[in-house]
Amino acid sequence: MNIILLGPPGAGKGTQAARLQAQRGMIQLSTGDMLREARASGSPIGDKVKAIMDAGELVSDEIVTALIGERLDSAQAKGAIFDGYPRTQAQAEALDLLLSERGRKLDYVIELVVDEDALVDRITGRFSCAKCGTGYHDRFKPTKVAGVCDVCGSTEFVRRPDDNEQTVRRRMAEYRAKTAPILPYYESRGLVRRVDGMESVDEVAAQIDAVLDDTE
């Protein structure tokens, strides 16, 4: 099964994709994570995208589609969760091509429906363990012991440079202008399912499971 998780910054795409990967063995393909890896490695692509990401704008369709193409074959067996891709009509069409070239297809586009104002809070409170990458939130998901990672015990944490309010608002504007308009492309094919992204993480997970297990 191949699915897209679609929603604005902070809608919970990464949270739900990581859960689906852990519970169902599907592979999370996050273009945001791939771009951050490229930046951290100091590769030419990383250097090229740094300023664009820090401004909250979209990286070129060619770069992100090339990244997805490289990883897609690793997500053959149990399927892929596209997290943060596609984000433009050109990317949506490129993904169709990548899948059809491999004899695969999209099963669902799950839209996380959210209230944008509440998302600013979610994003600006987000941080993760510098060692194992486990994600936390100042208010919604703090570490059990202050300043110590629940999973690996590290005391070092990081925040994303684009998680400040000004950049978050810019990322949301990009979502409204370029990403939300691709929904009709999938609606016309009957692929879109909507879940309430303002519910708790567990409730959102249950709604997504109902879609994937077709028990809605």
Taking alpha carbons only, the member of 110, 91, 79, 71 closest to residue 174 is: 91
Q: Check 36, 122, 126, 193 and give the catalytic one.
A: 126
Nearest to 85 by CA among 178, 21, 214: 178
Strands 126-129 and 135-137: antiparallel
Q: Which residues make up the interface to ligand AP5 (CB under 6 A)? A: 7, 9-15, 31-32, 35, 52-53, 56-59, 64, 84-85, 87, 91, 122-123, 126, 135, 137, 140-141, 162, 171, 200-201, 204
Q: How far is Cα 22 from Cα 27, in angstroms, rounded to an integer?
A: 9
Tell me which of 19, 36, 87, 193 is the catalytic residue. 87
Q: Is 126 a catalytic residue?
A: yes
Q: For residue 87, indicate whether it is catalytic.
A: yes
Give catalytic status of residue 144 as yes or no.
Answer: no
List the structure tokens of 56: 């909250």
171 labelled catalytic: yes
Name which of 190 and 202 has its Cβ closer to ligand AP5. Answer: 202
| Alpha carbons 208 and 146: distance in angstroms, whole number | 31
Structure tokens at 155: 């005391």
Q: By C-beta, is 111 or 162 nearer to ligand AP5?
A: 162
Nearer to ligand AP5, 103 or 181 (CB): 181
48 is known as an active-site residue = no
Residue owning tokens 């100091």: 42
Query: Of the listed 13, 19, 122, 193, which one is catalytic?
Result: 13
**Residues designated as active site:** 13, 87, 126, 160, 171
